[in-house]
């Protein structure tokens, strides 16, 4: 199962130990790590990225569920790039992009207090004990949530409601006096822009999800090939 994993630590050193533990667990075949970042919470509330995964099939954190979650953890204050480049978080970050519930974000944010650090990762795991045991042994508090399905479509009811409003305004526009026509036309244009923005957002989300799904397949293929090569070497 694909999950979002956040492990909160009291020190940056412990967070790096947590990252090392994730890599070890992956090497043992207990989990698959798709993307990760070590982050910290500054005294002013900003979330700073200390380290992230090397560019691979998933590339930088931009557009990934990990990147979206980091943006949400920064709250209205935002994210500082810190030592790791490649993370751009803007106003488009939302819970749908992170693919987890708001309650999960709130729980992590409450634990990730200023001057604390965390490992944030998107992983595949079949059971939770390996990660929990290893992380708890080094003082980490584990949060995890199964990733939801990406919303492929916009809320059809919202779009239908906006289209109904626009149809009504167009009907009024056809019968209105000149001074009223201009005001109605402005409202029609604004509503049309909102509809197009909703549709474009849905398109971008769908394309990003498709790209990530393909990247994950490539990651799994590469890891399987590596394991096969290692097994062959043992028999030589």
Identify the band that residue 140 occupies on the pLDDT scale cut at 50, 70 and 90. Answer: very high
Burial of 95 (0-12, 13-18, 19+ CB in 10 A): middle
pLDDT, one tens digit per residue, over 19-59 is 999 999 998 889 988 888 899 888 877 788 887 664 444 44
Share above pLDDT 70 across residues of the chain, in percent, rounded to a whole number: 78
Residue 186 has pLDDT above 60, yes or no: yes
pLDDT value for 164: 87
Distance CA 27, CA 2 (A): 18
**Which among 15, 204, 190 is positioned nearest to 93, based on CA atoms?**
204
């Amino acid at each position: 199962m694909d999950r979002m994993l956040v492990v909160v630590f009291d020190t940056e050193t412990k967070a790096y130990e947590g990252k090392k533990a994730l890599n070890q667990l992956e090497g043992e075949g207990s989990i698959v790590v798709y993307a990760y970042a070590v982050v910290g919470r500054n005294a002013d509330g900003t979330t700073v990225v200390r380290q992230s995964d090397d560019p691979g099939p998933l590339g930088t954190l931009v557009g990934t569920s990990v990147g979206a979650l980091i943006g949400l953890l920064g709250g209205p204050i935002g994210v500082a790039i810190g030592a790791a480049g490649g993370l751009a978080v803007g106003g488009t970050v939302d819970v749908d992009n992170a693919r987890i519930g708001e309650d999960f974000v709130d729980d992590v944010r409450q634990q990730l207090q200023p001057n604390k650090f965390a490992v944030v990762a998107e992983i595949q795991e079949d059971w939770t004990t390996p990660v929990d045991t290893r992380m708890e042994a080094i003082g980490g508090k584990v949060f995890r949530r199964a990733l939801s399905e990406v919303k492929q479509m916009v809320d059809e009811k919202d779009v239908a409601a906006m289209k109904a409003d626009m149809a009504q305004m167009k009907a009024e526009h056809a019968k209105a006096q000149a001074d009223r026509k201009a005001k109605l036309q402005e409202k029609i244009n604004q509503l049309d822009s909102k509809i197009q923005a909703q549709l474009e957002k849905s398109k971008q989300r769908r394309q990003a999800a498709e790209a990530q799904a393909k990247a994950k397949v490539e990651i799994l293929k590469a890891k399987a090939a590596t394991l096969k090569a290692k097994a062959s070497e043992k028999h030589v």
